[in-house]
């Protein structure tokens, strides 16, 4: 085939806020009606605090009706066809088009300042819709369920099983743990075991962060410095906690975290896990591990490289692991590559050896999500970018 197969491992999909009502259990309708105007206003304020309003206004003008692809399947297929993308991993959406799930069940997933029952209701509403959306085109749409596993493990496990039975390929968990038990706690083992045995990929995604006071000077600088750290933090618990040791088939994907820092993080973990004079006084925290932290990372972890993917990310692909990096467009978010995906791909990937491009653009995603490559190749033969463009 003279075209590349492209699987974007960072896409976003979500209904306009008011339409989530149809996917909520009826007992939550009154609470939804009361919360909807509050959610709209908080989203508007978030735009202002994050300096997005003017940027987004221009973005929406340039994007035309393409933004409706966040919930309209026909528009979405038209857009990703033009991008040369055969399939996408679909996370919840957020500020861009005011279409985050209700009750704090969007990407932020903070386990504080919310009613857990209502947050679960919002998560289930999104999960029901995304499962339906993916069933419209199961080859091209790789859906994830929001799983609020920090509250009640049995309830979370039931949702994980529901997600698998309804064709979803993975789960999105809260990176921010607050005062809840961290992910190295044995009580989470049933969820890790089920995901490992059934090929469900566990995800965190950039965006969740503490409650910054954005009215203070430099708050945005603090956020953009820390955001990747918060998204990645569950990894140290899984690695040092021996979760990947106990469940060697468990798959974890870390998405949209500006990849240039990852090699330093791997080096740091390896140093901390080695027998050093400086850590000897801390006692034994590594005898339950049979590999280096970086080795668990390369066996169990994939990186969804998107939005901030540039020459810096390309430069560290080998240090991260050429079989661990997966590309993404971040459609329909303004910080992503759409609507100039092909131009940006050529700018940052031209000259990369073809075998490495095949891994980053689709091969690693096919392996991570166990995708039907034959069916995807049929789509790629029609819309994929030509190989010669990257020579």
Domain of 297, CATH number, reads: 3.20.20.140
* Residue 313 φ then ψ, to 5°: -65, -40
The pair of structure tokens assigned to 276 is: 């050093």
Nearest to 306 by CA among 353, 265, 348: 348
User: 224 in a domain, yes or no?
Assistant: yes
Residue 367 forms part of a structural domain? yes
Residue 2 maps to a domain: no
- The 10s digit of each residue's pLDDT in 77-114 is 999 999 999 999 999 986 566 789 999 999 999 999 99
> What does pTM read for this prediction?
0.95
Identify whether 35 is part of a domain.
yes
Helix axes 262-273, 293-300, angle to 10 degrees: 130
Residue 1 lies in a domain: no
| 41 assigned to some structural domain | yes
Residue 195 lies in domain: 7-390
> How far is Cα 51 from Cα 164, in angstroms, rounded to an integer?
38
CA 25 to chain centre: 26
Domain count, the chain: 1
pLDDT per residue rounded down to tens, the chain (391 residues): 899 999 999 999 999 999 999 999 999 999 999 999 988 888 777 776 665 666 667 767 777 788 899 999 999 999 999 999 999 999 998 656 678 999 999 999 999 999 999 999 999 999 999 999 999 999 999 999 999 999 999 999 999 999 999 999 999 999 999 999 999 999 999 999 999 999 999 999 998 999 989 889 999 899 999 999 999 999 999 999 999 999 999 999 999 998 999 999 999 999 989 866 566 677 788 889 999 999 999 999 999 998 656 666 788 999 999 999 999 999 998 788 888 888 888 888 888 999 999 999 999 999 999 999 999 999 999 999 999 988 8
CA distances (Å), 106 to each of 98, 122, 380, in order? Answer: 11, 8, 31
Would you say residue 94 lies in a domain? yes
Q: Pick from 46, 91, 50: which is nearest to 70 by CA?
A: 91
d(C-alpha 125, C-alpha 15), whole Å: 10
- Virtual torsion, Cα 6, 141, 324, 163, nearest 10 deg: -170
Query: Is residue 307 one of the residues assigned to a domain?
Result: yes
Handedness of CA 370, 325, 96, 205 (dihedral sign): positive
The single residue listed with the structure tokens 């209502």 is 118
């Amino acid at each position: 085939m003279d075209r590349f197969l492209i699987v974007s491992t960072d896409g976003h999909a979500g209904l306009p806020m008011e339409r989530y009502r149809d996917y909520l259990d009826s007992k939550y309708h009154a609470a939804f009606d009361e919360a909807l105007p509050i959610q709209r206003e908080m989203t508007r304020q978030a735009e202002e605090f994050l300096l997005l309003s003017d940027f987004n206004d221009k973005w929406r003008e340039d994007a035309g009706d393409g933004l409706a692809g966040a919930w309209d399947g026909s528009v979405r297929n038209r857009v990703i066809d033009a991008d040369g993308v055969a399939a996408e991993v679909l996370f919840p959406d957020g500020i861009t088009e005011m279409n985050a799930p209700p009750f704090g069940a969007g990407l932020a997933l903070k386990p504080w300042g919310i009613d857990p029952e209502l947050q679960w209701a919002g998560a289930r509403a999104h999960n029901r819709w995304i499962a339906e959306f993916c069933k419209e085109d199961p080859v091209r749409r790789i859906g994830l369920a929001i799983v609020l596993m920090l509250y009640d493990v049995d309830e979370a496990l039931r949702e994980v099983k529901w997600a698998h039975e309804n064709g979803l390929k993975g789960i999105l968990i809260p990176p921010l743990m607050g005062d809840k038990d961290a992910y190295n706690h044995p009580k989470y083992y049933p969820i890790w075991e089920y995901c490992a045995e059934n090929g469900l990929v566990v995800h965190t995604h950039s965006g969740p962060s503490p409650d910054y006071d954005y009215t203070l000077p430099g708050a945005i600088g603090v956020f953009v410095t820390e955001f990747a750290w918060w998204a990645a933090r569950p990894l140290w618990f899984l690695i040092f906690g021996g979760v990947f040791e106990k469940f060697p088939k468990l798959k974890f994907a870390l998405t949209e975290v500006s990849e240039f820092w990852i090699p330093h993080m791997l080096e740091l973990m390896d140093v901390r896990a080695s027998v050093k004079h400086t850590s000897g006084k801390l006692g034994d925290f590594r005898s339950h591990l049979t590999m280096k932290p970086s080795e668990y990372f390369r066996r169990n972890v994939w990186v969804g490289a998107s939005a901030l993917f540039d020459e810096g990310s390309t430069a560290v692909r080998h240090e991260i692991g050429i079989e661990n990096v997966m590309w993404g467009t971040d459609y329909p978010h303004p910080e992503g590559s759409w609507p100039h995906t092909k131009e940006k791909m050529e700018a940052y990937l031209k000259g990369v050896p073809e075998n490495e491009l095949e891994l980053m653009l689709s091969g690693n995603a096919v392996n991570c999500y166990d995708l039907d490559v034959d069916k995807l190749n049929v789509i790629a033969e029609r819309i994929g970018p030509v190989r010669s463009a990257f020579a």
